[in-house]
C-alpha cells in the first residue's frame, strides 16, 4: 500500500549504443482488482456526500460535540478539511500524473472515479472522450493509488479521533471501538432449531404469533423424525 500511496513505479531505459536509439518502459505492481474493490467499498461512504459518515460531516460533528474553542486547541479543523479534499476532489490538478490521448487529456483523479463509479458500482461507460480512449486497465492503474491515499486519510483521521477520545474530549460508545467491521469467520457452525414440512406448506409469517411453539407438530416436524420414518438413523 505504501508503494501505491506514493505512486512508485520503475522506469526501464534501454539505449542502443550503435544507433543511439532509446526506448522506455514503465513497470508497476498493483493488487488484485477484487481486493481493491472490497477496500474501495469500505471507504466509499467517507467520500460520498449523501452518506452519514461523509468526511466533512464527521469533521463538522467534532466541532459540535467537542466545542469549537476546545477543538481548536487540539486540532486545526480547516487543515483536516483540506487534507481530505486534496485526495477526493476530482476537479483538482492531477495527484501524480495525467494522460494525453488523441481526444484530450485526463487526470489520474478522474480516471480513479471512472473506475470506481463506472466500472465497479454502476457499470457505466465513460462519457469523457479522453477516458473512452483508455481501457479499464488504465482506469484501474489510476484508481489503486487514489484509493490508497484515501485509506491514508481514514487511518490518520482515526488516530486523530482516538487522541480526542483518550484525552476525554470526545466520548463514544465503547462498542464502537471493538465491534467487528469485517467478516473473519467464513465457516458457519452454530446450534439452531430446524423443522421440516411437506413441499408447498405455507411458511409462517415472521414473527409468527406464539413463535416456534405455535408451529403445528402434525405439519412441522424435526429432521430426525423424518429420517427415522424413512428407515435411517438420526445422529
pLDDT digits (tens, 9 = 90+) for 2-26: 788 888 889 999 999 999 999 999 9
pLDDT score at 216:
86
pLDDT digits (tens, 9 = 90+) for 38-64: 999 999 999 999 999 999 999 999 999
| Number of other residues whose CB lies within 10 A of the CB of residue 6 | 12
Task: Output b/e per residue, 15-30; b: 16+ Cβ within 10 A.
Answer: eeeeeeeeeeeeeeee
Torsion, Cα of 202, 208, 212, 217 (10° steps): -40
| Number of other residues whose CB lies within 10 A of the CB of residue 107 | 20
Calpha distance 40→35 (Å, rounded)? 9
State the average pLDDT for the chain. Answer: 91
pLDDT digits (tens, 9 = 90+) for 93-147: 999 999 999 999 999 999 999 999 999 999 888 999 999 999 999 999 999 999 9
Residue tagged 488523441 (cell numbers): 102
Calpha distance 71→63 (Å, rounded)? 6
Helix (H, G, I), strand (E, B) or coil at 168: coil
Helix (H, G, I), strand (E, B) or coil at 122: coil
Contact of 74 with 167, CB cutoff 8 Å: yes
Calpha distance 56→38 (Å, rounded)? 23
Q: Domain map of the chain by residue range?
A: 29-178, 193-235
Contact of 126 with 118, CB cutoff 8 Å: yes
- Contacts of 49 by beta carbon, 8 Å cutoff, 6+ apart: 56
| Cell of residue 9, nine digits | 513505479
- Contacts of 175 by beta carbon, 8 Å cutoff, 6+ apart: none
Amino acid at each position: 500500500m505504501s508503494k501505491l500511496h506514493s505512486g512508485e513505479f520503475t522506469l526501464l531505459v534501454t539505449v542502443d549504443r550503435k544507433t543511439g536509439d532509446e526506448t522506455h518502459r514503465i513497470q508497476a505492481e498493483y493488487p488484485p482488482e477484487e481486493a481493491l474493490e472490497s477496500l474501495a467499498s469500505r471507504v466509499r461512504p467517507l467520500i460520498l456526500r449523501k452518506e452519514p459518515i461523509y468526511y466533512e460531516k464527521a469533521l463538522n460533528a467534532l466541532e459540535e460535540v467537542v466545542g469549537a474553542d476546545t477543538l481548536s486547541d487540539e486540532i486545526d479543523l480547516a487543515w483536516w478539511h483540506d487534507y481530505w479534499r486534496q485526495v477526493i476532489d476530482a476537479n483538482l490538478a492531477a495527484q501524480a500524473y495525467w494522460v494525453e490521448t488523441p481526444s484530450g487529456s485526463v487526470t489520474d483523479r478522474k480516471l480513479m472515479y471512472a473506475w470506481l463509479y463506472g466500472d465497479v458500482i454502476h457499470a457505466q461507460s465513460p462519457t469523457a472522450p479522453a477516458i473512452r480512449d483508455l481501457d479499464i486497465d488504465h482506469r484501474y492503474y489510476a484508481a489503486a493509488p487514489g484509493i490508497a491515499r484515501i485509506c491514508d486519510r481514514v487511518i490518520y483521521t482515526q488516530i486523530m479521533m482516538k487522541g480526542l477520545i483518550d484525552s476525554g474530549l470526545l466520548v463514544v460508545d465503547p462498542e464502537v471501538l471493538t465491534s467487528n467491521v469485517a467478516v473473519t469467520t467464513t465457516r458457519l457452525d452454530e446450534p439452531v432449531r430446524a423443522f421440516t414440512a411437506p413441499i408447498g406448506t405455507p411458511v409462517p409469517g415472521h414473527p409468527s404469533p406464539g413463535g416456534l411453539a405455535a408451529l403445528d407438530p402434525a405439519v412441522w416436524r424435526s429432521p430426525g423424525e423424518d429420517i427415522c420414518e424413512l428407515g435411517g438413523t438420526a445422529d
